[in-house]
Amino acid sequence: MTPLQAAVMAAAVANKGLVWKPYIVDKIKKENGDILYENEPFLINRIRLNNSTWELIDTALKEVVNSGTGRGAKINGLEVRGKTGTAQNPHGDDHAWFVAYASMPGEEPEIALAVLVEHGEHGASAAAPIAAEVMYGYFKERLAAAVKDGRQKKEQKETINTLN
């Protein structure tokens, strides 16, 4: 499995079975704002499971981040779901994995990612913190706005200060 395939899998879990064709470039613009290229999302598959099964998976991935091996990806003020992993490497230290998806509280997930750290040994210690940095960067402005508007608690402010 490649990191891109792992990210597609995380996104499919996040949106309850919709598997979208992955792409690297969303849009290309000229300096004047004219769009030279814009990706068209393309649904390639749908995984059908009962809603209760999707909820069970989501709850389990939430617990991985909140109280399990994925605690390094926890970001106060975000709803993060994830799974750590380790890939055995016969040529040296094992590789560290972490796949995740995240959203602002009460919203639908909007970012999914996979982090692979070659020779990182453990997803919990090597890959999950990198995922946290990426997710924080994605949500940084909205997290700061939520703190400014008083919608977030003291813990979120501390998280923002820590990750800055």
Q: Over the stretch 7-28, which tens digit does the pLDDT of each residue have?
A: 999 999 999 999 999 988 999 9
**Domain, as residue range, for 142:** 3-17+50-163
Q: Over the stretch 63-109, which tens digit does the pLDDT of each residue have?
A: 999 999 999 999 999 999 999 999 999 999 999 999 999 999 999 99
* pTM (2 d.p.): 0.84
Share of the chain above pLDDT 90, in %: 85
- CATH value at residue 112: 3.40.710.10
- Structural domain contains residue 44: no
- Structural domain contains residue 33: no
- Structural domain contains residue 23: no
> Is residue 104 classed exposed, middle or buried when 0-12, 13-18 and 19+ CB atoms within 10 A define those classes?
middle
- Structural domain contains residue 7: yes
- Structural domain contains residue 64: yes
- Structural domain contains residue 153: yes
Q: Report the number of distinct structural domains present in the chain.
A: 1
